[in-house]
């Protein structure tokens, strides 16, 4: 998943069939604008027309409009910056390449500075628009009459082809992808909490994985929820353009919201465990901490309640798992009323509240 999620939850390692579909989609979306620009006569080698397919298309084809718009704006701004600079400062020539030309060096530095400024001023989605600087430098290096206009036209044709044609070629079902991503997250979460509980019960280190692996896991529900919301908004588009079911599966939105909420509370819990292990160090071996060992049944019960809710099991079964987890929470609180134990239980307690609210929404 990217910093700015698209509309489809894409597995980190798609099957070969999906990879072949992506390769075929990219090849078609690169070839069509190439031949369109040859027919139009923009240039004899319209490479910029084929580049958008490579740089914009991802497995999430419905994210192409956003990426395409960002690229088009970057191309326009980069071309405009270099054109303006070269209007006042001399462009590079053959003589300036073979000799020291302070004027050419000055024009390059100005283009570089303006391109970097434009790239970061157009910061969006957690990243700068690198296309501004790329286009500015390409136009500067190819300061030929008419090249800037040809690059703009070819980029526009390539982007339009990707945006309009890409989603028509083997489009995925965004709701099915979101449901599959939720199931994958549920399985990994159950494995993580099971490993944490086992280590707590055995008196070993409570966190089985490093922070980087956990961080990726906790981001998946929010990514899936954002994907679902974008897919729901795009159901108003023509059916030819977006193959989306008329309505999503029952309860999918509620489960995605529940997953996003509990990801925050469970992340807090696992981070507190990691911080506790770090600060205790070798001075207090985990085996001697009864509050940690007796936390294991509470973690298992909480994991069962969350898993049942994510599976959309019967409300009575989820409520029974929640009651069991709350009972263990009260017992642990009575046995270990210290501040440190309360901090460790806080994430689990907030998770119980999220399960209860989810049951209330389900009715």
Q: Which pLDDT score, from 0 to 100, does residue 5 have?
A: 41
Tens of pLDDT, residue by residue, the chain (363 residues)? 333 344 444 455 667 887 888 889 999 999 999 999 999 999 889 999 999 999 888 766 767 788 888 999 999 999 999 999 888 877 666 555 444 566 667 888 999 999 999 999 988 877 899 999 999 999 988 878 888 899 999 999 999 999 888 878 877 777 777 888 899 999 999 999 999 998 888 876 666 444 445 778 898 898 888 878 766 766 555 544 445 555 677 788 899 999 999 999 999 999 888 887 776 654 444 445 788 888 999 999 999 999 999 999 999 999 999 999 999 999 999 999 999 889 989 999 999 999 999 999 987
Q: Which pLDDT score, from 0 to 100, does residue 74 have?
A: 92
DSSP labels, 34-51: HHHHHHHTS-SS-HHHHH
Q: Which pLDDT score, from 0 to 100, does residue 59 have?
A: 64
Torsion-angle region of 106 (φ positive above 0: left; ψ -120 to 50: alpha; else: beta): alpha
Q: Hey, where are the domains in the chain?
A: 16-168, 174-362
Q: How far apart are CA 126 and CA 129, in angstroms?
A: 10
Q: Tokens 């991503």 belong to which residue? A: 181
Q: pTM here?
A: 0.67
Q: Which pLDDT score, from 0 to 100, does residue 291 have?
A: 84
The per-residue pLDDT of the chain, averaged, comes to 82
Say whether 124 sits in a helix, a strand or coil.
strand
Topology of domain 174-362, per CATH? Methane Monooxygenase Hydroxylase; Chain G, domain 1 (1.20.58)
């Amino acid at each position: 998943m990217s910093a700015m999620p698209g509309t489809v939850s894409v597995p980190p390692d798609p099957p070969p069939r999906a990879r072949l579909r992506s390769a075929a989609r990219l090849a078609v979306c690169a070839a069509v604008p190439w031949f369109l620009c040859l027919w139009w006569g923009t240039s004899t080698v319209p490479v910029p027309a084929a580049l958008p397919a490579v740089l914009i298309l991802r497995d999430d084809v419905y994210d192409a409009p956003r990426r395409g718009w960002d690229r088009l704006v970057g191309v326009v701004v980069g071309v405009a910056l270099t054109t303006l600079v070269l209007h006042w400062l001399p462009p590079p020539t053959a003589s300036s390449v073979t000799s020291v030309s302070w004027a050419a060096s000055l024009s390059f530095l100005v283009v570089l500075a303006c391109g970097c400024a434009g790239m970061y001023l157009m910061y969006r989605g957690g990243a700068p628009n690198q296309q501004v600087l790329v286009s500015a430098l390409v136009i500067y290096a190819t300061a030929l009459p008419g090249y800037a206009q040809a690059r703009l036209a070819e980029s526009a044709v390539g982007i339009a082809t990707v945006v309009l044609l890409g989603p028509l070629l083997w489009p995925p079902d965004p709701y099915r992808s979101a449901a599959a991503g939720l199931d994958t997250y549920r399985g990994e979460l159950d494995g993580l909490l099971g490993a944490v509980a086992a280590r707590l019960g055995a008196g070993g280190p409570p966190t089985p994985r490093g922070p980087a692996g956990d961080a990726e896991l906790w981001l998946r529900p929010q990514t899936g929820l954002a994907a679902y919301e974008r897919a729901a908004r795009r159901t108003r588009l023509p059916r030819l353009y977006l193959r989306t079911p008329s309505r999503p599966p029952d309860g999918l939105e509620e489960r995605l919201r529940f997953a996003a909420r509990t990801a925050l509370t469970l992340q807090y819990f696992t981070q507190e465990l990691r911080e506790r292990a770090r600060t205790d160090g070798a001075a207090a071996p985990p085996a001697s901490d009864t509050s940690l060992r007796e936390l294991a049944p509470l973690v298992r019960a909480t994991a069962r309640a969350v898993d049942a809710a994510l599976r959309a099991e019967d409300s009575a079964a989820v409520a029974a798992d929640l009651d069991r987890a709350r009972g263990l929470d009260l017992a642990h609180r009575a046995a270990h009323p210290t501040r440190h134990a309360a901090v460790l239980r806080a994430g689990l307690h907030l998770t119980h509240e999220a399960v209860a609210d989810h049951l209330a929404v389900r009715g």
